Amino acid sequence: MTNNDLDIEFQEAVNRVNAHNDPFPADFLLRLYAYYKKATNDYGQPSSKKPIINAFKTNALFQIKDITPDEAKATYIELVNTYFLYRK
């Protein structure tokens, strides 16, 4: 898969998540959050008003610190596809 194909598929997965109206499980959202941040090279600090949420987000980011942005995109796509595959 070329970088352009990966970027397109990643954006489609992001759009699919954003268009979904039902709530996602909290652990799934944390993984999506971490992989999205890594994939988009967004190194800003979590900005929740609740410190415990920021701690969970920081931990999720820490767990994937050694992967590349392209690996994060591929994993994000896989997570989204698997989630929707089993939610039908």
Estimate to the nearest angstrom the gap between the alpha carbon of 41 and the chain centroid: 12
- pLDDT, one tens digit per residue, over 47-81 is 888 999 889 999 999 999 999 999 999 999 999 99
What is the pTM for the complete model shown? 0.91
Residue 2 confidence (pLDDT): 83
State the maximum Cα–Cα separation within the chain, in Å, rounded to a whole number: 39
Altogether, the residues listed in the chain come to a count of 88
Class of domain 3-86: mainly alpha
* 53/44 Cα distance (integer angstroms): 15
Does 9 score more than 70 pLDDT? yes
Please state, rounded to an integer, the average pLDDT across all residues of the chain.
92
DSSP 17-65: HHH--SPPPHHHHHHHHHHHHHHTT--PPP--SSHHHHHHHHHHHHHTT
